[in-house]
Structure 1
Amino acid sequence: MADMKVGAYICKGCGIGERLDTAQLAMIAQKEGKAQVVREHEFLCNASGVEMIKNDIANEGVNHVVIAACSRRAKVETFNFENVAISRANLREGVIWATPADADKKELVQEMAADYVRMGCAESIKMLIPRTNPSLGHNKRILVVGGGISGMTAAIESAKTGYDVLLVEKTGSLGGWAAKLHKRVPNREPYAEPVDTGIADLIKQIESDKHIKVFLNSTLSKTSGSPGQFSVDISKESGGTTTENIGGIIMASGFTPYDMNKLPYLGAGKSKDVVDQLGLEALAKAAKGGAIKRPSDGKEVKSVVFVQCAGQRSDKEGELPYCSGHCCNTSIKQAMYFKNQNPDIDTNVIYTDLRTPGNGEDFYRSAQKKGVTFTKGNVGEVVPGSGGLEVKFKDLILNDDAVAKADLVVLATGQVANSGIDMEAQLLAEATERDDAKKAKDAGEAVAQHQEKPKGVSILNLTYRQGPDLPHLKYGFNDSHFICFPYETRRTGIYSCGPVRRPMDMAQAIEDATGAALKAIQAVENAGLGRAAHPRSGDLSFPEFRKEGCTQCKRCTVECPFGAIDEDEARYPVFNESRCRRCGTCMGACPVRVISFENYSVDTVGSQIKGVDMPDQFSEKPRILVLACENDAYPALDMAAMNHIQYSAFTRVIPVRCLGSVNTIWVTDALNSGYDGVILMGCQKGENYQCHFVKGSEIAHTRMSKIDDTLKQLSLEVERVKTYEVAITDIQRAPALINEMAETIQKIGMSPLKF
């Protein structure tokens, strides 16, 4: 490796030169930061500034660059130099925009800027130039699991971009549930009538596309590997297995309709004339545009009642607590089947809330014009009788009990995701079983019958130590955040789309599948270049560890949210770099600190913490360390500064990849170094998590819950360390939390550990 040569570049633009003494900052970079090349520039991001840096890299041998200018979130492409370790000192958003321009604050603001320059140089010295991930995967074929509307769309969109696609469908034909529909809800103006499903055309496209290979009556019996180098065994129903190598996977395994027979109080199973929405689609297809006949006696339906939210949006045991999204529009569409055939048919849609995503009220208004009746009510019972069916409901407008008679009742039941085995629920059941058995044994009692383990048929049959399928959300859908990272799962290179990800209609499924295809393409391209996937897409670094220092504690293996760490025969960790998301959770978990990345390590952050010039206890200048998640909290502080929302100039902010990467040694070192307060800002955790690395914030909160013992050992107040959940929109709250800490320190006094 070439000798390290640090170049520090200090920008005067955007008001930095007007508020700060940049000559002093340059001197600090040279003398204290050990930078061999130090330059100031009027506007570092303009062509001449960038050229100056490039010239130093090419001709002066600079290979570690410190940019003291704007936030690391700004000008990312401008300050992107190949084969160079780059550190950013945030003087604009982090200093001059976050502090007042008062003359009496000038010294404090200059000290703040000087510390950020010291921190930037200290970080740069501890960084290594990132190398390419050695475990390259060059296969770019896309595997799509599921041949419904989502799977077919994902296959077609991938093929359009020139990628070869394998499409695996467990049944004997493509189309999924969409192929069983008579018509579909319109997806464009004027939203007046049900339209053709278009499934036949999609199937023709797939059959004629040379880039798509279809496997019918087939399932995955084994999936192993990582992005760019997956291996899958595709087993046919009739026997025989084919092994294929692929680059990325799209899981589009769809849904199963909720079993309406679980709703006997709504007449299901008691009368043939009570059907679910798919049952009505079958009746409509059989009618071929003619009169729809009721199943019990084949007579023409003269009156029909649609019961919305049947067995869903419910708190009853065994029913679905969520809305399935498509059902209201589907009932409106189906009501039109009857009205278009015979306007005199009495059609009544009974709903509690009518939701029509995608078409506003246009489709609903079209149905009203045709004479469809919409009744706001809560159906309590459907009773079969000799003359037909009686639908008993509470009229929510008149606040009165009512009864509607019908020849046919259609239950709008929900979607249940075909997401495979819920491994977390299974592991919990197994742990409970072991715990119960141990308690019984200790008490000398017979082992009681334990709770039944979750059942299911695996979709992917993954060879991951964490289990054969993707992790689930609480309702059984694939874990994928709908705002921060749709389609992403906890298995790198595997993306989910359609109703297996969340309840949705056909229009949403088509859009979802297109997004998943683009993410899969991004993954295989990054894998071929040895780079990370989302959210650190393009990162060349990867985790390494010092084997001689490893205690084989397994914490890194267990805490990795993405299944990127296995174990060898001697129980040492084995890192699968291609699966790794570069979050650093393993680094934060390691008690002996032997795990690191070239450009992010215990030392790169630790050196920044120690690089701050610490005033003595008599100076009345406290120091507050903020370790801020780079995905939410750090941007929130940047945006606060942009909006002139200020916080204490005693603050020093260090962005971290994820709160899960925070090693407790950083907090201990900070306190021992004389910091008066430490704040950790991570993403929201729990069921509605927003952590880009899923479990990082949750893990960090667990680690920090034990920090009180450390504080007590150091004879420090527990108020000196706080951990918060901060959203990217918390531009008012994030600075307020810092100012609260400053007020707390003012009340409890400076740290007694200052020198």
Structure 2
Amino acid sequence: MAKKVGVYICKGCGIGEALDVDALAKVASKEYKVPVVKTCDVLCAPEGIELIKQDLAGEGVNLVVIAGCSARVNYDHFDFGPEILVERVNLREQVIWTQPPDDEDTQMMAEDYLRMTLAKTKNLELPEPFIGENLSKSILVVGGGLAGMTAALEAAAAGHQVVLVEKENALGGWLNRVYKIAPLAAPFTELQDPDVQARVQAINDNPRIKVYTGATIASTAGAPGMFDVTINTSGGAVTERVGAIILATGAKPYDPEKLGHLGYGQFADVVTQAQLEDLVKTAGRVVRPSSQEEAAKVAFIQCAGSRDPEHLSYCSAACCVESIKQALYVKEQNPEAAVYVFYKDIRSSGQYEHFYKQAQMRGVVFVKADVESIEEGEGGKLAISAQDLMMGAPTLLDEVDVVVLANGMVPSTLVDENLPPEEQTRILNLQYRQGPELPTLKYGFPDSHFICFPYETRRTGIYAAGSVRRPMDMLQAVEDATGAALKAIQCVEMTARGMAVHPRSGDLSFPEFMMTRCTQCKRCTEECPFGAINEDEKANPLPNPTRCRRCGTCMGACPERIISFKNYSVPMIGNMVKAIEVPEEDEEKPRVLIFACENDAIPALDMAGINRLNYSKWVRIIPVRCLGSLNLVWVNDAMSKGIDGVLLLGCKHGDDYQCHFMKGSELAGIRLSKVSETLDRLGLESERVQMEEVSIMDYDKIPGIIEKFIEKIEEFGPNPMKGF
């Protein structure tokens, strides 16, 4: 269907007073021959929306260009259905709210942004959603502990079929080992029964949940909506097709054999939290392992290995609550018993503050201290030497019956580096070119964007929940499992409609490959953060559209530029660059192009506008889906055009990354080094192209970042290619 463009320029929010709207309209009608160009006092008002709708029906407009506010606001007002393309020109936040009104350079900036958008529309096409064959909306839950059972029940309650796989012969996981659990409901002060059988019965009685116990995953192939999972059971292998997967395989205690400095392995009465649970569950009370006598004096040592660079650098989150719970075991058995908790910091988050106070009221003594040694004292009992951090003095606690180490947790996905690859932990056995398991952080927890997108791993449609995702207590695990179930449901529902999930939720586009020009360089398969591209038997890229998150990293990686989206491509952005009007050198009006990530940098730029922070009139901003989609030809286009400098604004990356597409900013940095080499060969200063990392909260730093870069460009002088 032929495109018919309609340009609608809003005068509201001060745009009409700050800009010559008629001159803007002429850019569209005269320069770009747009057939329908109209202005409106308030375009988002009912009369403005009606104006557009009349042209959609009467004029046959099917590509609407809104020149007004940021695309991040009023998007619901300008949604005219899946058959109408809508592009936005940000005249408010990025022009009139950051530049002086009724100014020549402000007008030039606004006109350039309109030109850039109209140039983009030349290649813009309506996305066609990818709908896979034989799609499933069932959800696979791997792990039958508290988190796994919760996720299964929540997904089933929402009307979805669930397949639950547990490697042990019975459901329950850690709940099967514990004597009591910390409270999961108000008033959050009393111990609760694990109630395992009731939870298991609820699973077994639910007709939407199919359970495999004593089973493991032999193979996971396919993509969201069409995962084919082979399950090894005692009766043989079975295959289930599911739409999304929740990994809820939990955590395991940190190896206590590594805690010899705290007496473990030297003294029988030094035990771990897990071993104390076993003792209490077996004996029905807290006893000394060495003599089975009732314990009258018990000490708990927090952060036994946790928050320690030699063992676990992170906080294991649940240990404090578990120690409080076990301290109350002792107090319930004998209110006169002496119970001490040696801690670095007590972390009883949320409602568990009530639980912590309850322990204090029952006489549990909390000592902020560094434990220095544990020795054997008189009568075979234990003596703890510590430095009391509150009193600033050494302290000695002797005649202790039992010492309990809160030895932290490690995820079930943790790989043992001492084992050969064939003996490493395998849970999902993914049939992905990028590896058989989920990518993990340096601590072994499945990698995800933990700030903005919890639960979501780097494998689209596979969600981590509970303590396999990060250390957490049981209350958090229940909430986590519920969240993961909702994400899995979102995934299967949106996949069925051909839509992307996080973070470009609802995007109907997907990458298309012009295979005739493919050189099989493997850049796209290696750089895709989400494993969305495998390889066929001839080493050609084999895209899996429903795995794709539409970041465009593959597009930026491809040296042959054979990858594109119908609404985002190398030519589209190239046209935007070429549409910028670059004044002659003698006009002394430099031009700096900013490629800004839509996830953090564009919101930060908008926030700068909202707060009326002024920045340079020389900049022109092009939003990109991710800096990982940056194709180096855009920089070449900019330099050839006579642009004086190019600034890349992307998300933070590294161990504490914020990049919404995980590796986009990192990959852009790597590509930037190649740009520098190219510019050096051309005789241009490599510093004309730079990258800065920003978060949305850095909006107040935006003017300074831009001004510092402009100053550098002014030192270099005009681009010598200007005017060619």
| Corresponding residue of 2:79 | 80
TM-fit CA distance, 1:481: 2.2
SS in 2 for 1:125: coil
Contact 1:420/1:459 (<8 A) preserved: no
TM-fit CA distance, 1:197: 3.0
Cα distance in 1 for partners of 2:286, 2:713 equals 75
| Corresponding residue of 1:444 | none
| Corresponding residue of 1:99 | 99
Q: Within the alignment, does 1:177 sit opposite 2:174 as a pair?
A: yes
The range that moved more, 319-328 or 632-641, is 319-328
Q: Structure 1 pair 454/474, CA: closer, same or farther in 2 (3 Å)?
A: farther
Give the alignment partner of residue 658 of structure 1, picking from 623, 626, 634: 626
Contact 1:544/1:596 (<8 A) preserved: yes
Give the alignment partner of residue 397 of structure 2, picking from 399, 404, 409: 404
SS in 2 for 1:126: coil
Cα distance in 2 for partners of 1:596, 1:34 equals 26
SS in 1 for 2:50: helix
The range that moved more, 626-635 or 332-341, is 332-341
The range that moved more, 355-364 or 481-490, is 355-364
| Corresponding residue of 1:297 | 291
Cα distance in 1 for partners of 2:496, 2:226 equals 9
Q: Structure 1 pair 454/43, CA: closer, same or farther in 2 (3 Å)?
A: farther
SS in 1 for 2:520: coil
Q: Within the alignment, does 1:548 sit opposite 2:516 as a pair?
A: yes
Contact 2:168/2:213 (<8 A) preserved: yes
TM-fit CA distance, 1:484: 1.4
Letter in 2 for 1:728: I
Cα distance in 2 for partners of 1:594, 1:499 equals 42
| Corresponding residue of 1:460 | 428
Deviations 1:233-261 (A, max 9, x none): 1111x350111111100000101111212
Percentage identity across aligned positions?
Answer: 52
Deviations 1:709-746 (A, max 9, x none): 22223322222111011111111112321122222233
TM-score (norm 1): 0.93
| Corresponding residue of 1:89 | 89
Q: Structure 1 pair 198/100, CA: closer, same or farther in 2 (3 Å)?
A: farther
TM-fit CA distance, 1:570: 2.9
TM-fit CA distance, 1:299: 0.8
RMSD of aligned C-alpha atoms?
1.8
Contact 1:421/1:468 (<8 A) preserved: no
SS in 2 for 1:606: helix
Q: Structure 1 pair 144/301, CA: closer, same or farther in 2 (3 Å)?
A: same
Q: Within the alignment, does 1:354 sit opposite 2:346 as a pair?
A: yes
The range that moved more, 451-460 or 343-352, is 451-460
Contact 1:6/1:37 (<8 A) preserved: yes
Give the alignment partner of residue 329 of structure 1, picking from 321, 332, 340: 321
| Corresponding residue of 1:306 | 300
| Corresponding residue of 2:380 | 387
Unaligned runs of 5+ in 2: none
Contact 1:136/1:529 (<8 A) preserved: no
Give the alignment partner of residue 110 of structure 2, picking from 103, 113, 116: 113
Contact 2:136/2:242 (<8 A) preserved: yes
TM-fit CA distance, 1:370: 1.1
Give the alignment partner of residue 505 of structure 1, picking from 451, 473, 479: 473
TM-fit CA distance, 1:207: 1.6
Letter in 2 for 1:146: G
TM-fit CA distance, 1:382: 2.2
Give the alignment partner of residue 248 of structure 1, picking from 241, 244, 258: 244
Cα distance in 2 for partners of 1:137, 1:628 equals 39
Deviations 1:471-513 (A, max 9, x none): 0000000101221110111111100011111000001111111
The range that moved more, 720-729 or 196-205, is 196-205
Cα distance in 1 for partners of 2:412, 2:85 equals 45
| Corresponding residue of 2:334 | 342
Letter in 2 for 1:391: I
SS in 2 for 1:467: coil
The range that moved more, 70-79 or 520-529, is 70-79
TM-fit CA distance, 1:137: 5.8
Cα distance in 2 for partners of 1:95, 1:31 equals 22
| Corresponding residue of 2:162 | 165
Cα distance in 1 for partners of 2:403, 2:143 equals 31
Deviations 1:272-314 (A, max 9, x none): 32211121122222344xx422222211111111011112111
Across the two proteins, how many residue pairs are aligned to each other? 720
The range that moved more, 643-652 or 243-252, is 643-652
| Corresponding residue of 1:443 | none
SS in 2 for 1:470: coil
Cα distance in 2 for partners of 1:397, 1:94 equals 53
| Corresponding residue of 1:48 | 47
TM-fit CA distance, 1:563: 0.9
Give the alignment partner of residue 678 of structure 1, picking from 646, 649, 653: 646
Cα distance in 2 for partners of 1:525, 1:369 equals 49
SS in 2 for 1:731: helix
Letter in 1 for 2:128: R
Alignment of 1:614-629 (within 5 A): 614-629=582-597
TM-fit CA distance, 1:421: 4.8
Q: Within the alignment, does 1:273 sit opposite 2:269 as a pair?
A: yes
TM-fit CA distance, 1:455: 5.5
Cα distance in 2 for partners of 1:85, 1:421 equals 47
Deviations 1:652-694 (A, max 9, x none): 1111000000001111110110111110011111111111111
Q: Within the alignment, does 1:490 sit opposite 2:444 as a pair?
A: no
Deviations 1:377-411 (A, max 9, x none): 21232234543122232222344433322111111
Deviations 1:160-211 (A, max 9, x none): 1111111111111111112322222224443332223343332222121111
Cα distance in 2 for partners of 1:731, 1:84 equals 33
Contact 2:414/2:445 (<8 A) preserved: no
Contact 1:6/1:34 (<8 A) preserved: no
SS in 2 for 1:80: coil
SS in 2 for 1:486: strand
Letter in 2 for 1:417: P
Q: Structure 1 pair 455/734, CA: closer, same or farther in 2 (3 Å)?
A: farther
Contact 1:491/1:562 (<8 A) preserved: yes
Contact 1:191/1:366 (<8 A) preserved: no
Letter in 2 for 1:388: K
